[in-house]
Amino acid sequence: MSQTRRAANLERWVQRTLLSGTALSGVLLVLGLLIVFMRHEPRPEGPSLGLGMLRRTAIAGNGLSITDLGLLVLMVTPLLRVAVLAAGWAYERERRFAIVALVVLCLLGFSIFLGIR
Amino acid sequence: MFTSPLNIAFVVMAGAITGAFGAILGTGGGVFLIPLLVLGLGVPMHYAVATSIVSIIATSSAVASANVERGTANMRLGMTLEVATSIGAIIGGISAGWIAASVLEGFFGLVLVPTAMLMWRGKESGVEAADQIGPLKQTGPPVPPPDGGQVMGALDGSYFDEAERRVVAYRVRRLGAGWAISFVAGAVSGLLGIGGGVFKVPALHLFCDVPIKAAAATSNFMIGVTAAASAFLYYGRGEVRPALTAATVIGVVAGSALGSALNRRLRGAHVQKVFAVLLVAVAMQMLYRACFAGSG
């Protein structure tokens, strides 16, 4: 496969990742927001629920939890985009940029650790 | 604060307007969104900052996917600078609780004024710079250098400018300056909830010689990661309010789609002029807040 085609494939994967993340979060946000206002769910203050509790309440149809899940999907989307580029550049043997992407991935992981521990 | 349909409509509309500006200018739109939320809807400052950061991720993801498809965003350059912006954003996000934001806002405003002047008087569209490096004029992605080549060569880029109807190729210079300013942009983004494009686009264009459209697209590409690096910190503190943020994000995504379509029809020089005016407006807002209004 030519270098041009490989680069185009990687761009396509990055585009798909960004679009999928945005679309999925968009669906969850709209759905969650509709449920919130149809059921007049209260807005609790304070830190968000843990991931396990969030998943359970979202499956149970809690609008705020579905919205929260949509926001998390959105926040994770750039992280997935970095992971796709790291894998793509590693596959193309562009070690220099694969390592740079891995460093960015580690920094984002550190931020998640600090924020949601 | 956020219960009536009118308020929801206002938040969605605010998101749409800032999303459109963000897509056209590569700023992420937070510089408009935060004042709209705080002054227009009475949202507490820290919630507005968190909302802005998450909406910036939405703008960047939606617009960057289009820019990547067009080849305008330079992914190698963006990823290289993302190391600096991520470190800055994490430091900014952590520091948000114990550094007076008004001090940084005042500094931010002062820095923006000369940057806006440079931007207004700078190269018309970056095409001049591309003309001077004829051998790089080509279609398709940049060709990586042979083993042992300079990193800078691997960061060069090219894209097809629809307004100019030609391929614009460019060489990235002074990466260190871009890296340093990206770090500052990340720190300010993490602290104030703006995308940092107001720093990155002029820096990429004026210091690194990246054409303005590629600079805006690459900045937008980076902004998502910059915002994500601090978003988790705000989320962990419970400052990301689900309903408010969801309404904002929906508006932002719709607005950024409109802005992205407009961006394709705008010439680089026009984007540059608009961006210079935007910088002056943001500088005035920041200086006013720092001197008279406090940081909220």
Please state the domain extents for chain A. Answer: 3-115
Q: How much is the pTM? A: 0.80
Distance (Å) from the C-alpha of residue B45 to the closest C-alpha of chain A? 15
* Integer Cα distance of B193 and B31 in angstroms: 8
Q: What is the pLDDT of residue B125?
A: 38
Partner-chain contact A22 B228, CB within 8 Å: no
Residue A92 is encoded by which pair of tokens?
A: 């193309």
Nearest CB to A97; choose among B71, B76, B232: B76
CB contact under 8 A, A43 and B241: yes
d(CA A103, CA A6): 23
pLDDT tens across B212-229, in order? 888 888 888 898 899 999
Question: How many C-beta atoms lie closer than 10 Å to residue B149's C-beta?
Answer: 10
CB contact (8 A) between residue B79 and residue A82: yes
Mutation target vs B (from A31, A37, A76, A81; most B CBs, 10 A cutoff): A81
For B87-117, letters b (16+ CB in 10 Å) and e give bbbbbbbbebeeeebbebbbebbebbbebbe
Using CB atoms, pick whichever of B71, B79, B247 lies closest to residue A97. B79
8 Å CB contact of B83 and A74: no
- Is residue B72 within 8 Å of B168, Cβ to Cβ? no
Secondary structure class of B144 (helix, strand, coil) = coil
Residue B142 has pLDDT above 50, yes or no: no
Residue-wise pLDDT tens for chain A (117 aa)? 566 777 778 888 888 999 899 899 999 999 988 888 787 766 555 566 677 777 787 888 888 889 889 999 999 999 999 999 999 999 988 899 999 999 999 999 999 998 876
Enter the DSSP assignment of B208.
Answer: S
Say if residues A82 and B62 touch (Cβ distance below 8 Å). Answer: no
| ipTM of the complex model | 0.90
Kindly determine whether residue B236 and residue A116, on different chains, have CB atoms separated by under 8 Å.
yes
Question: In this structure, what DSSP letter does residue B160 have?
Answer: E
Cα–Cα distance list, B140 to A4, B79, B143, B152 (Å)? 6, 19, 9, 18
For B166, list phi and psi in degrees, rounded to 5: -160, 160
Q: Which residues of A touch B241 (CB under 8 A)?
A: 43
DSSP A48: P
Residues of chain B contacting A31 with CB distance shorter than 8 Å: none
Distance CA B117, CA B202 (A): 11
Q: Decide if B232 and A67 are in contact by the 8 Å CB cutoff.
A: no
Residue B173 burial (10 A CB sphere; 0-12, 13-18, 19+) = middle
Query: How far does B120 lie from chain A, in Å, by closest CA?
Result: 32
Q: Token pair of A85, please?
A: 């580029």
